[in-house]
Amino acid sequence: MIKVLVVDDSALLRKLLGGIFAAEPDIETAFARNGLEALEQLHAFHPDVITLDVHMPGLDGLACLDRIMVERPCPVVMVSSLTAEGAEATLEALRLGAVDFVAKPTGAVSLRIDALAPTLVKKVRAAAGARLRPSLRLRDRIRHRTGRPEARAEGSRPAIPGAGLVLVGTSTGGPPALEALLAPIPKRFPWPILIAQHMPATFTGPLARRLDGLTALDVVEVARPTLLEPGFAYVGRGDADIVVSRRPAGLVAVAVPSQAGYPWHPSADRLVRSAMEHVPPSRLVGILMTGMGYDGAPAMAEMRAQGGRTIAESAETAVVWGMPGELARLDGADHVLPLPAIPERLLAWVV
């Protein structure tokens, strides 16, 4: 039985979300009207997962989340609005330790709630099995980590000569993982980095701006054809796909509409396959990090079989070991590494 605590100041939302969970025979639900009630239920109900509204009077969602992570760490799925303000708050919640988020229905909520139900239930089930990071925030944990996370494997392949691309796929738990991946990369890094992070369109712009302020690289969202340059990281626009194309000026990243056969967006599989059309696999590096499902794993396994190099985040640090775990299962990873070791391996390959 999965015990879910629904925290929302709206009686209607509590009723509608409760109805979604009541239809699942293995989910037991309790409710809280605000952050203070949520903290009381945290210790009385002992939830396995919490769904937490961002905006509440008194103790708001972010302050409540911070207290949860200190008092009794528990997987949290944020329920946030699809606005610029909601996106910023959600990204901050993910930094504070939330596992995932769902977008609150707009307009007539009672008429749109059914469309939310499958996604919400799927994310709550994944959160129930998610690996929580320690209470120290991810960057702090990496900064203060003692010792080397993992020694380089013997017989490791040498550095890659010439120009190439780094292709990154991530989903649940991805924003803090991307911060940890990009933070150690110097501005002089010679290869463009392209990122497929599963997110709505209103979230990827704020994500790119946040990463840009936290890393030496220039990080931009790809909303139009964008020439690929060293020292840059490119975040695919949400609700679309990011692909590599070639123009007279050189390689470009392009945002394109979703395509049948690719269920997640931006699609890591589609990004990798488009890159292989224009760049020899031997000059591609694929990195697959935390996330539900298997997006990116089939394409990166194919890329490795054709001479590319790949890294899967290990279960030790992945919030959800779905995507990277599938790459490992397919024998598609040169290395399976904890997150703090991934930038080191990337820098050893690309000099």
Neighbour order of strands in the sheet with 250-256: 226-227, 250-256, 241-247
114: annotated active-site residue:
no
CA dist., res. 100 & res. 291, Å (int)? 10
Tokens 């309790």 identify what position?
30
Closest CA to 329 of 281, 292, 284, 297: 297
* CA 84/CA 74 separation, integer angstroms: 27
CA atoms within 13 A on the CB side of 198: 27
Q: Check if 171 is active-site.
A: yes
Residue 249: φ, ψ to 5° = -80, -15
Decide if 295 is catalytic: yes
Angstrom CA distances, 79 to 10, 11, 43, 175, stand at 12, 14, 21, 16
- Give the span between the Cα atoms of 49 and 27, in whole angstroms: 10
Q: Closest Cα to residue 66, out of 58, 56, 57, 76?
A: 76
Give CA 274 to chain center in angstroms: 21
| Pairing state between β 241-247 and 250-256 | antiparallel
d(CA 332, CA 312): 9
Catalytic residue among 198, 265, 274, 314: 198
Identify the active-site residue in 8, 53, 81, 171.
Answer: 171
* Residue in 274, 295, 334, 335 annotated catalytic: 295
Helix ranges restricted to H, the chain? 11-22, 35-44, 61-71, 84-96, 109-128, 138-144, 174-182, 201-214, 268-278, 297-305, 323-329, 342-349
Distances 325 to 73, 80, 183, 284 between C-alpha atoms, Å? 24, 28, 24, 20
Residues labelled as active-site residues: 171, 198, 295
